[in-house]
Amino acid sequence: MVGTSPAMTGGAVVPTTKATLAILDDDHILRLIRYAISGAGEVSEDWARGFFLPEEVDLAHVRAIGDGLHAADGVTLLPLAASATLRTQGDLDVLIFRRGAIDAALMDAHPRLKLIQRIGARADQIDLAAAQARGIAVSCVPRPSLQLTAEHALMLMLALAKRLPEADVAVRAGHYDAARVKPDNGVAYNWVGLSPLAGLYGAAVGIVGLGEVGTMLARLAGGFGARVLYCNRTRLSDETERALGVHYRALPDLLAQADFVSLNASNLPDNAGLADAAFFAAMQRTAFFVNTSRGRMVDEAALSEALARGTIAGAGLDVYAREPLAPDSPLLKAPNLILTPHIAGGSRTGIIDEAAAVLANCRAVLSGGEIKYRVA
């Protein structure tokens, strides 16, 4: 039984009994958590510093979110290489993961397991009934950065439909035909003559990949009165589709019917170049394409040509095959294209708060404290 100690490290209660933690998979936020727990022992300071650049971060602050969970506190963090054997052997107290499935067999391999901690709000890959039967707490920490990414995708859609960049330039430059503008009591609707103008209300928004960000985007788009279509590797249940207000379409049908197409698919090898010339040719000529996922999934030359030929009406990108965007990229000369510099998820430093929420739960379960975002 893990007890509490009056000893405090950076305000964190330190467990009095040795404990073992493991992180099942690997990505940038999980690597940051490793750094916070183990310092430069497994993740280099060069990587940690470079992760935040060009934003400046005090790495001592990052390490501090792991206080109470360092080796000196009696906590062992298994190396990433050990994750391959965790499904069949081990004796963990805490299991942290982002992707993958947590089933009863994995729980049974760790009879001491106290907490299954997912990074992300969805619990559909965790056998909650098995966890409850074994007295294992389950927490799914929401990630504000994912919500911000969904918001950014929606913003790009609205900016494209309402021709925001063009409108701003025209107003600042004073571009309008005085002979055709007749103000009525000082009001001159659309005096620069932009056309067509649209929005999300009544439009069909097609989401390619209904993961966490795609699901958030579906809810936002539905709130604007859009009809939401989706395609996914695995179709949702009828009940889930009704709850989200989404309609399944195979990819060709989605592309043919959607007024907006948002790429939110997983960054898997099979998805490289998913949005190619055939993809854009299958879209409506009046439709807009948005990508806030990963640049490698888009054939940028094909997108540039589709925009130049008017195959699609416009596009908005926050991610690119190469970042920063190369100065000779054909995207820079493409018409009707909004470009942002990979900022959809907000400030990079916001991920520190996400990691801190995860580690606070780890401390809590080892010291008898309250676990937040508990789902079982």
- Are the C-beta atoms of residues 248 and 231 closer than 8 Å to each other? yes
In eight-state DSSP terms, residue 242 is: H
| pLDDT value, residue 6 | 33
pLDDT band of 358, cuts 50, 70, 90: very high
Residue 14: is its pLDDT beyond 60?
Answer: no
Instruction: Please give the angle made by the CA atoms of 19, 21 and 23, to the nearest 5 degrees.
Output: 180
- Are the C-beta atoms of residues 142 and 121 closer than 8 Å to each other? yes
Residue 5: is its pLDDT beyond 80?
Answer: no
Active-site option among 87, 219, 342, 348: 342
| pLDDT value, residue 9 | 42
Q: Catalytic site residue 70?
A: no
Q: What are the pLDDT digits (tens) for 275-299? A: 999 999 999 999 999 999 999 999 9
Q: Is 60 left (phi over 0), alpha (psi -120 to 50) or beta?
A: alpha
| pLDDT value, residue 17 | 64
| pLDDT value, residue 49 | 94
Active-site option among 31, 143, 294, 363: 294
Q: Catalytic site residue 233?
A: no
Q: What are the pLDDT digits (tens) for 86-104? A: 877 778 999 999 999 999 9
pLDDT band of 328, cuts 50, 70, 90: very high
Burial of 56-67, coded b for 16+ CB within 10 Å and e otherwise, reads eeebeebbbbbb
Query: What's the mean pLDDT when you consider all of the chain?
Result: 93
Domain ranges in the chain are 8-141+349-367, 146-176+197-335
Q: Catalytic site residue 87?
A: no
pLDDT band of 84, cuts 50, 70, 90: confident
Residue 166: is its pLDDT beyond 80?
Answer: yes
When the candidates are 3.40.50.300, 1.10.1740.10, 3.30.70.2190, 3.40.50.720, the CATH number that belongs to 8-141+349-367 is: 3.40.50.720
Helix (H) or strand (E) holding 316: strand 314-317
- Are the C-beta atoms of residues 98 and 91 closer than 8 Å to each other? no
pTM: 0.91
Domain 146-176+197-335 top-level CATH class: alpha beta
Lowest mean pLDDT among 40-44, 129-133, 282-286, 288-292: 40-44
Active-site option among 233, 285, 323, 374: 323
Residue 117: is its pLDDT beyond 90?
Answer: yes
Lowest mean pLDDT among 24-28, 31-35, 49-53, 87-91: 87-91
Intrachain domains 8-141+349-367 and 146-176+197-335 with the same fold = yes
| pLDDT value, residue 39 | 84
- Are the C-beta atoms of residues 24 and 100 closer than 8 Å to each other? yes
Q: In whole angstroms, what separates CA 275 from the centre of its chain?
A: 19
